[in-house]
Amino acid sequence: MGKGKTLRSDLRNVVLKVMTYFENEKKNRSYIIPVDQAMKRTAMATGISERTLRNIKQEVKKVASASSEAGANDWKREINHVDRLRQQYWESDRLQELNERELIISLGTDSESDTDSIFSDSESEISGVESMDVSD
């Protein structure tokens, strides 16, 4: 990245995760994951799944092999394609993480709340009014 370039917030978050990872290694004076496990170290440091990292790596290899045969316009198109794929993988990974969090949260709320019991007691007293689902 060039001097004076502003990083997007998602990229800033990745940089912060990597920096925190290395600071933890420095503090502990040892590697969290052995150096010979580069994929696992990268996944742990960036917060990106190993599957996504493998996909990115494969796309970079495809671009590298195509670059020797491609002209300037083709090269730019390939770079844009890889950027779009990287963004898709990033978004997919983020959505998967959000879904996992939502699942964890929803599994923890299986008991009837006080508001549910209040509504169920009073709903029979009002005619012509349907109850609303307030569980969201």
What's the pLDDT tens digit per position in 34-82? 999 999 999 999 999 999 999 999 998 888 777 666 566 777 888 888 8
35 and 67 both lie in a single domain: no
Buried b (16+ CB within 10 A) or exposed e, 3-33: eeeeeeeeeeebeeeeeebeeeeeeeeeeeb
56 and 25 both lie in a single domain: no
40 and 53 both lie in a single domain: no
More confident residue, 110 or 93: 93
Q: Does 130 reside within a domain?
A: no
3-state helix, strand, coil in the chain (%, to 5): 70, 0, 30
60 and 11 both lie in a single domain: no
43 and 56 both lie in a single domain: no
pLDDT at 52: 93
pLDDT digits (tens, 9 = 90+) for 119-136: 555 445 556 667 666 665
98 and 75 both lie in a single domain: yes
Q: Does 126 reside within a domain?
A: no
pLDDT at 8: 87
Give me the domain span that covers residue 61: 49-107
More confident residue, 46 or 2: 46
Q: Does 117 reside within a domain?
A: no
pTM: 0.45
Q: What is residue 130's DSSP assignment?
A: P
22 and 41 both lie in a single domain: yes
Q: Does 23 reside within a domain?
A: yes
pLDDT digits (tens, 9 = 90+) for 15-30: 999 999 999 999 999 9
Total domain count, the chain = 2
Q: Does 95 reside within a domain?
A: yes
